[in-house]
Every structure is written in structure tokens, then in C-alpha cells.
Structure 1
Amino acid sequence: MEKEMVTDGLKKNRIQVSNSKKSLFFYVNLSKRFLQEYNEVELSGLGMAISTVVSIAEILKNNGFAIEKKIKTLTIDMRDDPEARPLPKAKIEITLGKSAHFDELMAAEEDQKGSEEGDEQN
């Protein structure tokens, strides 16, 4: 049985993706760090952020960093205030695991960053 990393009721390896707050590649890089630390990352998004979640997952999979473990779609009720009528909102959760080549790809990426920084100093 897999153990979930939970602290204060929140999964440590969950990234809640927003459409407006951060760039796509911020989430891609954050996901790589979560994969490094936890071997698994759960991407979660509501409404318009769903396409961003899917894009992040596809970038990680297509570049060989991650494998898809689980996709869950659901509808949750959202309220702006407790008195308001609930509004149904679509939600997606995609769980990704480290690929077999993850560590090699991360090492190659670090080498590339190091050589680019060396080029800038010359």
C-alpha cells in the first residue's frame, strides 16, 4: 500500500495550479523538484486551470521526466460566500511518477545549466 505524504491535512506532493499566478514553466520546474523529492507529484487544477495542468503533465511526459499514474476528474461545489448557492466547478487531478530516466535527464539538465552559466561568464 502506498503511503501518502500528508501534513496538516494537505498532501506535501500536491501542486495546485492556477491559470494566472505563475508561468507554465514555473510549474514544470516545480513538478521536477517534487518528483526528485517525493518520486511522485499530484497536479491539481480547477476550471480554466485544467488545460494548464494537462499541458504541464504532457511536457513532463513527452520530455521523458514522468510517467502517468492516475487521472481523476470530478466536479466540486464552490461558493463565494457561505450564503451563496454552490456553483459546480470542474476539477482534475493528475498523478505523475518519476520515469526510469528521470535522474539521468535531471543530471544532463544540470550540466547544461552549468555550461551555459560558464559561457555567460566568459
Structure 2
Amino acid sequence: MEMEMEREREREREKEREIEGGVKVVEATSEAAKAAAPAAEDAVVAPTKKNRIQVSTNKKPLYFYVNLAKRYMQQHNEIELSALGMAIGTVVTVAEILKNNGLATEKKILTSTVGTKDDTKGRLVRKARIEILLHKSENFNNLVPATKADQIKAVQPEIEA
């Protein structure tokens, strides 16, 4: 009797893990799973995409993400800013700063909800998620100074002359 009840509980847990409304439910219970889960509150940069910045509300100040996005745009033509829950406002602000300064153009905005399992209460918690894809503007290289090494190389011929 207890085995059947345990199997039924396991089936219910499996249903919670399935895709709900086209959005994959992420369940992170172990430390390794938490590290691998795409939660913006837990990570700054996702290891899977080299041009993705995951923004957190309480980890870093706003302009840390603005400057990080500028550095990423020097290496890539487009970057992806993503956030969960309360960090969505920060991501939108970072994107607007980059757009208003003429550094980036908005390419795509995706919104969804992600379910995560709350460790303390053991229930499924739904969080809003946003992903903003920004493309490097045409005059980005004129507006953003190059790296220190590039600046030194540019000045070297003037010094030698």
C-alpha cells in the first residue's frame, strides 16, 4: 500500500517537471542542479551561451551590467540579457541605457514564466522571465573606446614619430 502511494507521489512530481504551457519547469533541489539551473538570482553569466548576461537584483550594481554588456558587445555582434522575477526591471533599465546611448538596437524581446521548486516549502513557484536580445549599433565602435591594449597600439606610432 505504501509503495503504491510512493509511486503515485513520484508520478505527481514527474507531472510537475513536465512542460507546462510551452515553458519548461526547472526543478533545482541539489547543489549541483542549482548551479546548472538558469536562475538569474544565482548566476551572472550562463556557461552555455557566451553572449548571455543573467542579471540579478541584489548581486551587482546597475552599471556593472551596463559595462559588462559593453564589453560583451566588443566581442560579439549581439548579446542576450535575461532575468527572473524582481530582476526584470534591472534588465529593462540596462537595455534602455544601452539603446539611449546609441550603443545597441533592440532585436527581440521574449517573456515567459518559469517554475522552480521552493526548497523550504516544497511547492512549485512560478516566476516571470524576460530575455532581451540586443544588436550592436553601427556606430558602436566610434562611441565605445577600445580595450587598453588597442589604445596603446593606436598611440605607439605617434610616440615613435
Q: Secondary structure at the match of 2:54?
A: strand
Matched, 1:38 2:52: no
- Indicate yes or no: 2:42 matched with 1:19: no
Q: How many residues align?
A: 104
Q: Which residue of 1 aligns with 2:123?
A: 85
Which structure would you say has the larger Rg?
Answer: 2
| CA displacement 1:15-71 (0-9 Å, x = unmatched) | 000000001000000000111111111000000000000000000000000000110
Q: Which runs of 5+ in 2 are unaligned?
A: 1-45, 149-161
Q: What is the root-mean-square deviation of aligned Cα atoms in Å?
A: 2.4
Query: Identity, % of aligned pairs?
Result: 60
Q: TM-score, normalised by structure 1?
A: 0.78
> Residue 71 of structure 1: which of 106, 109, 117 is its match?
109
Higher relative contact order (CA 8 A, sep 6+): 1
> Hey, what's the Cα distance between the residues in 1 that align with 2:93 and 2:81?
11
Aligned partner (choices 43, 51, 54) of residue 92 of structure 2: 54
Name the SS for the 1:107 alignment partner.
Answer: coil
Tell me which amino acid in the other structure corresponds to 2:113: T
TM-score (structure 2 length as normaliser):
0.59
Deviations 1:73-111 (A, max 9, x none): 000001133x82211100000000100110000139x8x
Secondary structure of the 2:145 match is helix
- The aligned residue for residue 5 of structure 1 is none
Structure 1 runs of 4+ aligned residues shifted over 4 Å read none
Q: Distance in 2 between matches of 1:87 and 1:11?
A: 25
Deviation at 1:9, TM superposition (A): 6.7
1:9–1:55 CA distance, 2 compared to 1 (3 A): closer
